[in-house]
Chains A and B, each alone.
Chain A
Amino acid sequence: MDILQILISDSFWAAALRIATPLIFGVLGALICERSGVLNLGIEGIFAAGAMAGWMAVWLGAGLWGGLLVAAMVGGFFGLIHAILTVPLGLSQHVSGLGVTMLATSVSYFTYRTALPQVSSPPKIEPFQPLDIPVLSELPFIGPVLFQQTAMTWLALFMVALVWWVLNRTPLGLAIRAVGDNPDAVDAQGLSVYGLRIGAIVAGSALMALGGAFLTMSAFDSFFFGMVNGRGWICIALVIFASWRPGKALLGALLFGAFDAFQVRLQTEVGAFVPSQVFLMAPYVLSIFALVIVARRAEYPGALLKPWFKGQR
């Protein structure tokens, strides 16, 4: 099997899309927050919280969609903490985000350990199954790649379209784009800067949590510590790579997924000569590389990281 064969195989692209799914949620979430002018470094912890909360809800009998709802709400809650700290209080978005990551992670781990004090092998749930849409999933190539994914992948793709529509085609999206570039413009029109930003952060954080929930409810069937493993940080890099556009965010996540799927396959080919860690490192190196390439010409939202206080101009 050579490289070309890998690249045209349907199982490779199916894996790429699967790997990309949590990142799509995460990048979209981070994108919404940053478009409103607030960096959300809580993402890594919100992923963990979403993964834990969604899984535990299902484990307690909430059903898969109920689990997703719980995950989103938990994500929104941690987003609200970040929002209160950074928007009306105007505190450092960097430090507050890291604090939220620490808080969300430790709350999740503590809750999991408290609920399940002594388990040798983590309990499992029945996760989302591939949809296997009749006829369509039989199609060559597209069938396995698109129509044998789980409902969460479809939800992620739908979210890309939804976020794009809201940002570019609705008054709400216009206000979010404006508040991230110049809050005074929004304030002068009598709209609430605080309201828009808090809302955007809560919504974005809920999306991030869905990315986490994908890990325990679709990719795997149980929760374990350290399972987020930097995916949140990668999303933060991908947002810059995607220049804050939903379409490009999808593209970035897919490219990343493809790269990750590719390195796994390459590993089986040349694993004998190259230590496996080289491949494990690759996604992170790639993220830094992507960041460095676009950093110079990245057009950051004008008001990103800048706190705004009412009545001070």
Chain B
Amino acid sequence: MANTRVLSLNNLSKRFGSVVANDAVSIELHRGEVLALLGENGAGKTTLMNMLFGHYMPDSGSIDVADERGDMHPLTLGHPQAALDAGIGMVHQHFTLAENLTVLDSILLGSESLWSWRHKRKAAREKVGRIMVRTGLVAPLDEQVGKLTVGERQRVEILKALYHDARILVLDEPTAVLTPQEADALFENIGAMTKDGLSVIFISHKLREVLAFSHRIAVLRHGQLVGEIATSDADERVIARMMVGADTPATPRDAMEPGAPVLELRAATVKGDSARTSLHAADLTIHAHEIVGIAGVSGNGQSVLARMVSGLASPDSGEMWVSGDRINRFTPPVLQKAGVGRIPEDRHHDGVIGAMSVAENLVIERLSDSDVQKRGFLLHKSIRRHAEELCKEYDVRGPGIDADARLLSGGNIQKLILARVFECMPDLILANQPTRGLDLGAAAEVSRRLLEARSRGAAVLLISEDLDEVLALSDRIIVIHDGQLHEAHSKDREAIGLMMAGEHA
């Protein structure tokens, strides 16, 4: 393994506007090696890999890749085709599969000359079969991609890369959507593949798996390579300090006596199209002064639970009570009036209207209030004054309250939503993936506000795929799997992981 370089990134830099995403990053990769690329959100990991794969053009720097015989050649930058031809395969965090194709067709896509008059499906099927046997990655070849589970889709992505004869495989946050157990299985497959000479870079921010499965660790912070270390020499504290620059402070939280029940679900059932979009006889009680975290792998019924509590989906049977009142009609206004504040999962899609002003977005849930309108006409002055105050209080920064909300950064959009929600002093707060994609500062602000609301007596339903966040913030943890809720009796990581995979004691 020693002197068999297969890839070298030389002084790659990339800026987006005024933001430096990568600053002269140099990394080498060797044959059969598993390199973990570690860093916080926004540290520049994905940008670096997108440059490697030709999706982004670096501002400066170069990339060399070894051919089959081990000779290094410079890579043509900015062309995915060149990266593919050089034997680089990438599995994106958001899968790039067309759902209307079969698995075999998805693997075949782009592997043949476009102008050939027919597919060589038979030969392809045999080649994929051989790869599946060799690596242990199995996927149903004739099934439509749209019908696969997330884990299966990921395997299709990896199979696709291997089918295209990738010698270097890049995995962007491969375990974000997997249970801990599925993740372990994936790394076992990767282990088998590296024995055949495949080299792997995987991007992660999870210390545990990085320590368990990589040979070497490279850490990025604010776009710079801040350290490289052999995994055998590393431990959690060392790399955590490299990642954030200091020891992570634990979120301070006071013990608190739960108050009266605020949200009660009684055998609430939503029948969706599949097990993943349904909720089965869910029982759940959240009290005042209490944060209940819903842990689970993405796509196990979290969104339907959130949609129901938001008023966007009605249960087919069962009951939902908020502050002692039974909810009979499930519409957003009814739930708002019942005292539910909602932080949506996809803040750009559901949270703000990008082409309307910050001020307008701040009052969008209160259009019938007397300080917003009079006899059906908007009180622009009052709306603007209100916006000035809220932006100040919640530190929403941007080009001003009259500017379109789309011009705000992700963190500021989330602060805008927080301001809108918390201003109404809701009894129940639904926080769905509240810190996803935020930088550390904004994420800390979200956590602080949630804890503050808890102190004042609000009940919080926290839905997050980030188990660390759930562990840090929640008073109680409920695991969701296949649309069923199960209470976790301790904050034991291992036990919760097993429950997320559907095994419970």
- Do chains A and B interact in one complex? yes
Given contact pairs A170-B119, A171-B116, A174-B119, A302 touches B110 in the complex (Cβ within 8 A): no
Asked if residues A188 and B99 are in contact (CB atoms below 8 Å), the reply is no
**Given A187-B80, A188-B80, A311-B56, A171-B113 contact (CB < 8 Å):** yes
List the 7 closest pairs (A to B, CB-CB), nearest first: A189-B110, A190-B81, A181-B98, A188-B96, A178-B98, A171-B112, A190-B80
Label chain B's interface by main secondary structure: loop
Interface size on A, residues (CB 8 A): 24
For A132, the chain B residues whose CB sits under 8 A away are: none
Least Cβ distance of A111 to chain B in Å? 35
Interface residues of B in 85-126 (CB under 8 A from A): 85, 90, 92, 94, 96-101, 105-106, 108-119
Q: Can you add 6 more A-B contacts, CB < 8 Å, to A182-B98, A188-B96, A302-B98? A: A174-B108, A175-B109, A178-B109, A186-B109, A188-B92, A302-B99
Which residues on the A side are within 8 Å of B85 (C-beta)? 190
With a cutoff of 8 Å between Cβ atoms, the chain A residues found around residue B115 in the complex are 171-172
**Chain B residues with CB below 8 A from A184, complex form:** 92, 94, 96
Distance of A171 Cα from B82 Cα, bound (Å): 19
Instruction: Tell me whether chain A's interface is mostly helix, strand or loop, or mixed.
Output: helix
B99 touches A181 (CB 8 A): yes
Whether a CB of chain A sits under 8 angstroms from the CB of B37 is no
Closest residue of chain B to A189 (Cβ to Cβ) is B110
Max chain A Cβ within 10 angstroms of own Cβ: one of B81, B82, B109: B109
How far does the Cβ of B320 sit from chain A's closest Cβ, in whole Å?
28
Contact in complex: A170, B100 (CB < 8 Å):
no
> Taking the complex as formed, is B79 at the interface, i.e. its CB lies under 8 A from any CB of chain A?
yes
Q: B383 to nearest A CB, angstroms?
A: 30
Q: Which of B97, B99, B118 is A169 in contact with, Cβ under 8 Å?
A: B118
The residue on A at minimum CB distance from B161 is A188
Q: State in angstroms the CA–CA spacing of A185 and B92 once bound together.
A: 10
B119 touches A169 (CB 8 A): yes
Q: Which residues of B contact A (CB under 8 A)?
A: 54-56, 79-85, 90, 92, 94, 96-101, 105-106, 108-119, 164
A170-B118, A172-B115, A311-B55 are known contacts. Are A187 and B101 too (CB-CB below 8 A)?
no
**Across the two chains, which residue of chain A brings its CB closest to B118?**
A169
Distance, CA A175 to CA B119, complexed state (A): 12
Q: Is A212 an interface residue (CB 8 A)?
A: no
List of A residues within 8 angstroms of B119 by Cβ: 169-171, 174
Q: Is the pair A185, B96 in contact by a Cβ cutoff of 8 Å?
A: yes
A199 to chain B, nearest CB (A): 10
Which residues of the partner chain B approach A169 to less than 8 Å between Cβ atoms? 118-119
Contact between chains at B118 and A185 (CB < 8 Å):
no
Contact across chains for B81 and A175 when beta carbons are under 8 A apart: no
Question: Closest CB-CB distance, B472 to chain A, in whole Å?
Answer: 30
Per the bound structure, the CA–CA distance linking A172 and B117 in Å amounts to 9
Name the residue on B nearest A176 (C-beta): B114
The reply to whether A191 and B114 form a contact with Cβ atoms under 8 Å apart is yes
Does B98 contact A172, Cβ atoms closer than 8 Å?
Answer: no
Q: Does A313 contact B (CB under 8 A)?
A: yes
The CA of A184 and the CA of B106, in the complex, are separated in Å by 12
Centre residue among B56, B99, B164 by max chain A CB count within 10 A: B99
Query: Which listed residue, B56, B83, B106, B114, touches A185 by the CB 8 Å rule?
Result: B106
Binding site for B on A (CB under 8 A): 169-172, 174-175, 177-179, 181-182, 184-191, 299, 301-302, 311, 313
In the assembled complex, 6 residue pairs joining A and B whose CB atoms fall closer than 8 Å, in A order, are A171-B114, A177-B101, A181-B99, A182-B99, A185-B98, A301-B100
* In the complex, chain B residues whose CB is within 8 Å of the CB of A178: 98, 101, 105-106, 109
B96 to A187, Cβ gap below 8 A? yes
A187 to B81, CA, bound (A): 9
Question: A171 contacts B100, CB within 8 Å?
Answer: no
B110–A186 CB distance below 8 A: yes
Minimum Cβ distance to chain A for residue B79 (Å): 7
- In the complex, the answer to whether B100 meets A174 with C-beta atoms within 8 Å is no
Q: Inside 8 A of A301's CB, which chain B residues have their CB?
A: 100
Q: Specify which of A172, A187, A313 is in contact with B114 (CB 8 Å cutoff).
A: A172
Contact B101 A313, beta carbon cutoff 8 Å: no
Q: Which residue of A lies closest to B83 (CB)?
A: A190
Report the bound CA distance from A188 to B113 in whole Å.
16
On chain B, the residues within 8 Å of A179 by CB distance are 98
Q: Measured between C-beta atoms, what is the minimum distance from B101 to chain A in Å?
A: 6
- Contact between chains at B112 and A177 (CB < 8 Å): no
Q: Min CB distance, B163 to chain A, in Å?
A: 11
Question: What is the minimal beta-carbon distance from B145 to any residue of chain A, in angstroms?
Answer: 9
Residues of B within 8 A of A174 (CB): 101, 105, 108-109, 119
Distance in angstroms from A179 CB to nearest chain B CB is: 8
Complex: A178 Cα to B106 Cα, angstroms: 8
Chain A residues lying within 8 Å of B114, measured Cβ to Cβ, are 171-172, 175, 191
What is the minimal beta-carbon distance from A236 to any residue of chain B, in angstroms? 20
**Are B98 and A190 neighbours in the complex by a CB distance under 8 Å?**
no
Contacts of A185 in B (CB 8 A): 96-98, 106, 109
Q: Are B94 and A313 in contact (CB under 8 A)?
A: yes
Q: Which of A170, A177, A187 has the most CB of B within 10 A?
A: A170
Query: Residues of A contacting B113 with CB < 8 Å?
Result: 171
Q: Which residues of B contact A190 (CB under 8 A)?
A: 54, 79-85, 110
Bound-state Cα–Cα, A299 to B119, Å: 25
CA distance A58 to B156 in the complex (A): 53
Give the distance to chain B from A172, nearest Cβ to Cβ, in Å.
5
Minimum C-beta distance from B487 to chain A (A): 38
Q: Which residue of B lies closest to A169 (CB)?
A: B118
Known: A177-B101, A182-B98. A191 touches B110 (CB 8 A): yes
